[in-house]
Amino acid sequence: MGDEQKISWQQLLAKSREEFESGTDFTVAVEEEFALLDPETHELTDRFEEIYAAAQETDLAPNIVGELIASEVEVRTGRCENFAEAAAAMQERRSQLHSVARDLQLGLGGTGTHPWSRWQDQRIIDTPHYRRNDEILRYVVWRNNTFGLHVHVGIAGADRAIKVHDALRTFLPEVLALSASSPFVESVNSGLHSARTEIFTRMFPRCGIPDPYGDWQGWEDYVSFLYRTGSVTEHTQIWWSVRPHLAFPTVEIRIADGQPDLAEAQSLAAFAYSLAARCARAVDEGETIPNLPHRLLEENLWRATRYGLSGELLDLERAEPVHARRRLEDLLEWVAPVADEIGAAPYLAIPERNAAERQIARFQEGASLQEIYAEQVQAGEPIGG
């Protein structure tokens, strides 16, 4: 590895630390990934380049990007100062995207997986970033036809950001359970509430729930190790389900399935945002959030993947199972004071049934995957659109 590349990642780490030290608490940005669909058959269709080009003539232009395959598109709120601003931006981005898609006679899907379109039929977009990932990951990246929702939360202070990151590890299964929307994939009922999680976090390297780092030096040592050994060539190849971001002074929560329904997407983002802010408050006040071992968190991650909101999660401090909805209710109570301060409280809710539960119920009633997915596509369309 040449000196130029070595200096590059060292400079990246130094700059990132400086930005966290001078960062702003509790800014928020949300990224949503959507499937591009044939409007009649709802099959995945490789038309990202078309929708991206069309969006360049609209106000959506700064906030639309590609995401691996040509049958996928991502929209971003951009940095927001509070959650009301982020929620409004989420609505606006979806409306803008649907407008461009309609003009091109494209549909949009918001579940974590497509129920039947084959991964073998999808094309990876032609960018240097994705060409590199294709060369490195091969089958792993080909197979990743998944759609998620990510939340970036600004945290001031480098060591403090790592402590918030470490605390958030504990709550990733709860975020996943709330978000589960992907029971169907490869033309079958997977039996899971989040097939996306199995496809993405179980196949990609450096993905799923990470170990705690303790402080910035622990994080820097890990990233330096990856670059120094040639394990990564760019920082976005660190795919953990929560990660300190090296391009922005944010902690990014990446565990959630995509959401067909706007209100549920806003509620999910508000929950992730509130958890991050509440963890920061705990750090500031000396409240202990145990850094639980990965092997225990994996038990809850599996339960969230398999049963979503319909099953039980573990109260790991008491080593007792508790219904997932009760666990979510307890967390909503825990974050409530901070959620009110940061403007997220009005958006927090646990649905009677989340997207996975609704789809599974329709399947049990005898509806086909095509009928169920059509209902999810319709649920994502703007009112009056």
For 314-374, the DSSP string reads EETTTTEEEEHHHHHHHHHHHHHHHHHHTT-GGG----SS-HHHHHHHHHHTT--HHHHHH
The answer to whether residue 52 is domain-embedded is: yes
Residue 385 domain flag: no
Judged on CB neighbours under 10 Å (0-12, 13-18, 19+), 150 is buried
Total of domains in the chain: 1
For the record, the structure tokens of 381 come out as: 């369309």
For residue 226, the domain's CATH number is 3.30.590.20
Domain range for 181 is 3-379
pLDDT of residue 7: 52
What pLDDT sits at residue 266? 98
Residue 24 falls inside a structural domain: yes
Cβ(150)–Cβ(252) under 8 Å? yes
Identify which of 66, 97, 67, 93 has the alpha carbon closest to the alpha carbon of residue 78.
Answer: 93
pLDDT digits (tens, 9 = 90+) for 180-230: 999 999 999 999 999 999 999 999 999 999 999 999 999 999 999 999 999
Q: What was the pLDDT predicted at 247?
A: 94
268 is a domain residue: yes
Confirm whether 169 is domain-assigned: yes
* Token representation of residue 308: 């979503």
In the numeric block, the tokens 């990007």 are attached to 65
Which residue, 199, 191, 180, is CA-closest to 356?
180
Classify residue 66: in a domain, yes or no. Answer: yes
* pLDDT for res 380: 93
Antiparallel, parallel or unpaired: β 207-208 and 188-189: unpaired
In a domain, 384, yes or no: no
User: pTM (2 decimals)?
Assistant: 0.96
Q: Examine residue 156 and state whether it is found in any structural domain, yes or no.
A: yes
289: tokens are: 């959030």
Q: How far is CA 248 from the centre of its chain?
A: 16
Q: What is the pLDDT of residues 193-204, one digit of tens each?
A: 999 999 999 999
Q: From CA 305, how far away is CA 301, in angstroms rounded?
A: 6
Residues of the chain with pLDDT under 50: 1-6
Predicted local distance difference test score (pLDDT) of residue 8: 86
